[in-house]
Amino acid sequence: MDPLDDYLATVRARGSVFVQSLCAPPWGLRFEDPGPLMLLVLADGAAWIRPGHGEPLRFEAGQIALVRGGFTVGDRRDTTAGVVIDSENRCYPANEDPATAGDRFKLGTRTYGTPGGSSVLVTAAYAVRGGTADRVLATLPPALAVPAGDDPVLGLLTSEISRDEPGQQTVLDRLLDLLLIRALRTWFATPGTRAPAGYRALADPAIGHALRLLHQRPAEAWTVATLAAAAGLSRASFARRFTALVGEPPLAYLTGWRMTLAADLLAETGASVGSVARQVGYADAFTFSTAFKRIRGVPPSAVRAGSPGA
């Protein structure tokens, strides 16, 4: 496991909502509250994405777009959205009540729009949970687009989306996961983009090895000395190089990662504070709780599954 593997552990497609939209110019769709992350693919032509925050983004066929939060997409930069798709996957005219608008745009399995529409837009919403995923999402702009290249997965997704065969949802979910990883790798490799802490340091043989150890065995009693030895560097040289490449000292990074893991365990599993403390490398609940509150600003009980306000 490396940082990106861990960060994406809770960004797995499972029962994701897929929509294939057939649109005739001029067209505009508004996605209201689609979730933390949505992936878009355009089969032909070009379109404009207007995120809720940030500048409009032009993207084309052969690209993968990722959008955070609600947005509008249309064939022109200034297109007004005539159709709304909401969080319940209802599709209705922007000037009508969704409760009474009906399902007039449905054309077939996962397919909506105008018969004979020339623009084919495929969208898929991700359900994202937990703080591990936030480490990736926090680095992304409101909307981005990257080239898909010759990735055959793109063609598979567009050919599979309108089918309704046994196991179809699982097939689509796995294709979506592959496209997301492809898009993130390409984006983080682009000069000038912001990457999650430690991501680019993976290219350094010594520091990359140390980062993988921290993610594989976060509960181990790591010290700067033991990490330096594992990386084949002196303690001082390791500490300097790690801090320069990752952006924070080794043990500060480890503590932050442990608290992120702990927050997810507390929120999702309902495990006791003592149990979570041991899973992330603390001998007792008191020491862990003190560190958790210092880093996260609230005690572990505030995020424990089932607790009031959690």
**What is the CATH architecture of 252-302?**
Orthogonal Bundle (1.10)
Report percent pLDDT > 90 for the chain.
32
What is the predicted pLDDT for the residue at 310? 38
Q: Compute φ and ψ for 250, nearest 5 degrees.
A: -55, -50
pLDDT band at residue 44, thresholds of 50, 70 and 90?
Answer: confident
pLDDT at 240 over 90: yes
* Across 24-33, 143-152, 211-220, 263-272, least confident range: 263-272
Q: What's the pLDDT tens digit per position in 187-234? A: 988 888 888 878 888 889 999 999 999 988 999 999 999 999 999 999
Instruction: State the chain's maximal CA–CA distance in angstroms.
Output: 69
What is the predicted pLDDT for the residue at 269? 67
Q: Compute φ and ψ for 36, nearest 5 degrees.
A: -65, -25
CATH no. for 3-188 = 2.60.120.10
What is the predicted pLDDT for the residue at 96? 77
Q: What's the whole-model pTM score? A: 0.77
Contacts of 130 (CB under 8 A, 6+ apart): 10, 263, 264, 267, 268
Contact status, residue 160 vs residue 216, Cβ threshold 8 Å: no
Domain definitions of the chain by residue range: 3-188, 200-248, 252-302
* Across 6-10, 13-17, 22-26, 164-168, least confident range: 6-10
Report percent pLDDT > 70 for the chain.
87
Q: What is the mean pLDDT of residues 97-125?
A: 74
Cis peptide before 152 (omega within 30 of 0): no
Which regions of the chain does DSSP assign to beta strands (E)?
17-23, 28-31, 37-42, 46-51, 57-60, 63-67, 71-74, 83-85, 91-93, 106-108, 111-113, 119-126, 143-147
Cα torsion 169, 174, 178, 181: sign? positive
